[in-house]
Amino acid sequence: MLGPPGAGKGTQAKIVAEKFDLAHISTGDIFRDNIKRKTELGKQVVAIVDAGGLVPDELTVALVKDRLQKDDCKNGAVLDGFPRTADQADALTELLAELGSEIAIVPYIKVRDSEVVERLSGRRTDKQTGKIYHLKYNPPPQGADLEHRKDDQEDTIRDRLEEYHNKTAPLIAYYEQKGLLQEIDGEEQIDVVSATVLRKVEATRA
């Protein structure tokens, strides 16, 4: 899943993973879990993640390499928030070749920067289930135990967008050249976006 922060990658990745029985791998979720549990990795990355920077490629690639070899990836995986740099993308191609696998599709969820700020300011996640909500666009149930991410404050959102445009957006052309990119209008409602994403994923499996 490619797209700016707040495009809906996590929202759509969960839907695709459930529908096709794939693992959902969110590098952001893995980093946040390690930060919460105060692991060695968590301590290494907390300042970077809180500031909206990118964790070094070696660390991130090693983590994904490990994760992709777990049992639940046998049927495939939806990668959400990875790769985010050209070096990560190259490493992923190599890694998948080693594992005898390859990328089927790169859904690029396109959303304007102005919309990203609105989306992330209103994003809330359920502390127990990890479900993603939005105060206005996808309201949480009453009484849910919600979290507002530290990096979802306006200043940090601007920094994350800058990182995205500098380091991640070049991957759009990279995957287009490989014939893997499928651009999707991410400004439609959630169910409209997922219908399109599911249709495009389905087409690669026919």
Contact pick of 55, 73, 181, 198 for ligand AMP (by CB under 6 A): 55
23 binds ligand ADP per the rule CB under 6 A: no
Q: Which of 9, 32, 119, 124 is catalytic?
A: 9
Active site residue 36: no
3-state secondary structure the chain: CECCCCCCHHHHHHHHHHHHCCEEEEHHHHHHHHHHCCCHHHHHHHHHHHHCCCCCHHHHHHHHHHHHCCHHHCCCEEEECCCCCHHHHHHHHHHHHHCCCCCCCEEEEECCHHHHHHHHHCEEEECCCCCEEECCCECCCCCCCEECCHHHCHHHHHHHHHHHHHHHCHHHHHHHHCCCEEEEECCCCHHHHHHHHHHHHHHHHC
Candidate segments 45-53, 102-110, 131-139, 173-181, binder of ligand AMP by CB under 6 A: 45-53
Residue nearest to ligand AMP as judged by C-beta position? 28
- By CB under 6 A, tell whether 160 contacts ligand AMP: yes
- Give the footprint of ligand ADP on residues 88-147 (CB under 6 A): 119, 122-123, 132-134, 137-138
> Quick one: which of 46, 48, 95, 105 contacts ligand AMP (CB under 6 A)?
48
**Positions that interact with ligand AMP (CB under 6 A):** 5, 26-28, 31, 48-49, 52-55, 60, 81-84, 88, 151, 160
Which residues in this chain contact ligand ADP in the complex, by CB under 6 A? Answer: 3, 5-11, 119, 122-123, 132-134, 137-138, 186, 188-190, 193
